[in-house]
Structure 1
Amino acid sequence: MARDSDSSSLVRLNIGGKKFCTTIDTLTQREPDSMLAAMFTGRRTISQDPENGFVFVDRDGKHFRHILNWLRDGAVPVLKDSQYAELLREAGYYQLFGLIDGISDVMNQRKKNEESDAELTRIDIIKCIQSERVRFRGVNLSGLDLSKLDLSFVDFSYACITNVFFSRANLQCAKFRDVDAEGANFHNSTLRECEFTGANLRGALLAGANLQSANLQDACLIDCSFCQADLRSAHLQNADLTNANLEGAILEGANMKGAKLSNTNLRGANLQRAYLRQVNLKDTHLEGAKLDGANLLGAIR
């Protein structure tokens, strides 16, 4: 990285083997709270090759050009839904919440213009939640836009909610027992005291979500993004967090007994007083994590 006296210094990036060139201004101005901004404002250490000056980031570089274009001019690219899912995962890793919102808006509009396999529509859901006791147990709601709705205490157990948009929704005390929620978007949603026991949340986006005291026991959380999520006192016993991203998450007092943490990103996470007894942390990324008062008896490190 070539550093000049001003913040427009040239930056050379190696993203999983793909080379990019940009400036510090580009990486820091549009999303100042992102991981990339933290890397180039001194708030996070970086790995720089002394021979060629490239800063290495161990991520797939396939969609990084779209990330750079977003940071340059705020443009959300036109992609296939499967590619948007991949880009959302990368945006979650880099904590680019503005890009996440932009992609969500585009996909929501696209869903409105296409036929859905869901058994109910957003209007149907809104009418239903005006009742006192609402249950969608076993219903297929895949692909619906349910963002920003008050869905507190609703029972979604056993439902198919794959790729549903719950971003900014109020889901406090909702039940998601044994749901298929692969690829669902819970960005910045309220999920306090929710039940996700046995749920399939593979690849789901929960960045910035409030999951205080939520029950995620036995859930499949592979490849999930929990960046900056609040998981205080959450129940994560036997949950599979393989490859999950919990960077900067609050896990204070969380019970993680028996959780699978292979290649899990817990950098900068707050794990104070968390229950990690006999958990295998050998392949877990814990740089900068707070472990004061954590129960690590018998943990493999």
Structure 2
Amino acid sequence: MTDEDFRDADLSHQNWEGRQFSHTEFVDADLRGLVTKGCTFDHCDFTRADLGESKHTASAFRSCKFERTNLMHSEFGGCTFLGANFFECRFRPWKLSDTDLTLVSLAGANLRKTTLSGLRFREANLSAADLRDCDLTGTDLRGARLLETQLAGADLRGAQLDANGLRQAALSGARVDVDTAIAFAAAYGLQVGE
């Protein structure tokens, strides 16, 4: 479906499989409890939509807009949000597994205590996001913008961060492995070695 308008629509508790949407408006739509499998959403607008308690498997939300969207208690497994933009959304609790968040914008997002382990955040905008006490083990954060990102108490063991990310993020109190600690020291110009 292209250029469809589901504004204010009640689409709650439906099951969609293999459906494709492009430039579709879901503004203010009730999508609570929606189940998708293998669906594609390209350039869709979910502003103020209610996706609470929804479940998504192997679905793609590419370059979609999520503004003031309710995502509480939603689950995404094997999904992609490539280039999606999140602004003032309600996330927690939010369950993500094997999900690609490359090039997403989550600036200022409150994801405190969320499990984000093993996810791909390559070149994502996480500026000023609250990631305190998050499980970020094995997460790919290469190229991510982490300016003023709060990571106190976060578990970053096995995470991949580049020098810019290590310099930008507020890492005080974060848990890291030896390789990240060495990379952190090198990012600040320290000579590591015997």
| TM-score interval (norm. to shorter) | 0.7 to 0.9
Among 33, 50, 53, the residue aligned to 1:153: 53
Distance 1:158 1:253, change over 3 A: same
Within 5 Å, which residues of 2 pair with 1:180-199? 180-199=80-99
Distance in structure 2 (CA, Å) of the matches to 1:244 and 1:189 = 20
Q: Which has the higher helix share?
A: 1
Distance 1:118-1:280 versus aligned 2 partners, 3 A rule: same
- Deviation, structure 1 residue 178: 1.6
- Which of 33, 40, 46 is the equivalent residue of 1:140? 40
2-side partners of 1:207 and 1:163: how far apart? 15
> Are residues 1:171 and 2:71 paired?
yes
For structure 2, the 5+ residue unaligned runs are: 6-19
Given that 2:117 and 2:138 are in contact with CA atoms closer than 8 Å, whether structure 1 keeps it comes out as: yes
Over 3 Å counting, the alpha-carbon distance change for 1:190 and 1:245 in structure 2 is: same
Q: Give the counterpart letter for 1:207 in structure 2.
A: A
Structure 2 CA distance for aligned equivalents of residues 139 and 165 of structure 1: 16
**Alignment correspondent of 1:225:** 125
Partner residue, 2:110: 210
Which amino acid is the alignment partner of residue 96 of structure 2? F
Give the Cα separation in 1 of the matches to 2:49 and 2:187.
Answer: 35
Distance 1:168 1:125 in 2: 10
Bigger Rg, structure 1 or 2? 1
- Looking at structure 1, the residues matched to 30 and 87 of structure 2 have their Cα atoms a distance apart, in angstroms, of 24
Structure 1 stretches of 4+ moved >4 Å: 111-114, 281-287
How many residues are treated as equivalent by the alignment?
A: 174
2:21 maps to 118
Greater strand share, structure number = 2
Tell me the amino acid that sits aligned with residue 256 of structure 1. Answer: L
For the residues of structure 2 that align with 1:153 and 1:141, how far apart are their CA atoms?
18
Q: Deviations over 1:38-87 (max 9, x none)?
A: xxxxxxxxxxxxxxxxxxxxxxxxxxxxxxxxxxxxxxxxxxxxxxxxxx
2:61–2:82: 8 Å Cα contact kept in structure 1?
A: yes
Query: For the structure 1 residues 165 and 159, does the alpha-carbon distance in structure 2 shift closer, same or farther, using more than 3 Å as the test?
Result: same
Cα RMSD after superposing both structures: 3.1
Counterparts in 2 of 1:72-91, with a 5 A limit? none
SS of equivalent to 2:178: coil
C-alpha deviation, 1:238, in angstroms: 0.5
> Residue 183 of structure 1: CA displacement?
0.4
> Which ranges in structure 1 are unaligned for 5 or more consecutive residues?
1-110, 288-299
Counterpart residue type for residue 72 of structure 2: Q
One of 125, 143, 158 as aligned partner of 1:258:
158
Counterpart secondary structure, 1:238:
coil
In 2, the alpha carbon distance for the partners of 1:153 and 1:267 equals 37
Q: In structure 1, what is the Cα distance between the partners aligned to 2:26 and 2:49?
A: 11
1:270 aligns with 2:173: no
